[in-house]
Amino acid sequence: MAKVIAIANQKGGVGKTTTAVNVAASMAATKRKVLLIDLDPQGNATMGSGVDKYDVDSTCYELLIEEKPVQDVVITETTGKYHLIAGNSDVTAAEIKLMEVFARELRLRNALEPVRNYYDYIFIDCPPSLSQLTVNAMAAADSVLVPMQCEYYALEGLTALMDTIKKLASVVNPELKIEGVLRTMYDPRNRLANDVSEQLKRHFGDQVYRTVIPRNVRLAEAPSFGAPAMYYDKSSTGAKAYLALAGEILRRRNKNLKKAS
């Protein structure tokens, strides 16, 4: 059964979409069946997957509002070799329409139920706000992956985000857990980055991934070519870091499955 991971942070510009696209591609490269859902109306994960957000037949709008099945809205050809449910400005309209429907926070969860046995991993790129779309993602997910920069306000913001996730979990999804905290855009020459990184490890312990995503030009360039970093420049440090992250996610899952059995 698929593990559903929401990639979320209320703060913008922390590498959330970069993480969604690259971890999906890296996981697909390990021969797992992967679905990426672009719940962000900006549609950046869609464009970063080599799909024109202005020229798609269906988006998350059709999935959430018209209740079309996943197989009718999914795009199977992407540069990252994963399946995609696209996002664009139509998703903003979906957010407004969701206010009018019954059990609105469970729309995504119910939509994914029939395909959870088909995929190994489902990643959800959330908008950088606590919206109905983010609530839907949290209700559908098994866990939340939190990308964050090691900068001055990051710890304060992360504490608030963790609190929000706990509150949401108590209301819409008691099973929701923190998948992990991912340090992004990391520059080891920066003293503040190192200080914040150490504080993170002290506060959150094993929840902080060992893998660190560096500041990397190739990683920043890849979206403009509509491809994950590993298909733009597989030798780049950014591409290698996301492959390492996929490996770490897989090892954690296997470890947890062994514990459960």
pLDDT at 169: 84
Q: How far apart are CA 95 and CA 87, in angstroms?
A: 12
How many separate domains does the chain show?
1
pLDDT at 6: 97
- Count other Cβ atoms within 10 Å, centred on residue 95: 22
Q: Is 144 helix (H, G, I), strand (E, B) or coil?
A: strand
Query: What tokens appear for 114 in the block?
Result: 């029939």
**What are the Cα distances from residue 251, in Å, to 2, 210, 222?**
15, 12, 27
CATH number, domain with residue 84: 3.40.50.300
Query: What tokens appear for 215 in the block?
Result: 């500041």
pLDDT at 259: 80
Query: What tokens appear for 56 in the block?
Result: 């798609």
Q: Strand 143-149's sheet: what is its strand order?
A: 83-85, 34-38, 121-125, 3-7, 143-149, 177-186, 208-214
Residues of the chain scoring pLDDT < 50: none
Buried b (16+ CB within 10 A) or exposed e, 24-44: bbbbbbeebebbbbbbbbbbb
pLDDT at 166: 87
Q: How far apart are CA 30 and CA 209, in angstroms?
A: 19
Buried b (16+ CB within 10 A) or exposed e, 13-23: ebbbbbbbbbb
> Which amino acid type is present at position 133?
L
pLDDT at 11: 79
Cβ-contact 34, 75 below 8 angstroms: no
For 40-58, the pLDDT digits (tens) are: 999 999 999 999 999 999 9
pLDDT at 161: 83
Torsion on CA atoms 14, 17, 22, 25, rounded to nearest 10:
160
Identify the domain containing residue 242 by its residue range.
Answer: 3-260
pLDDT at 244: 97
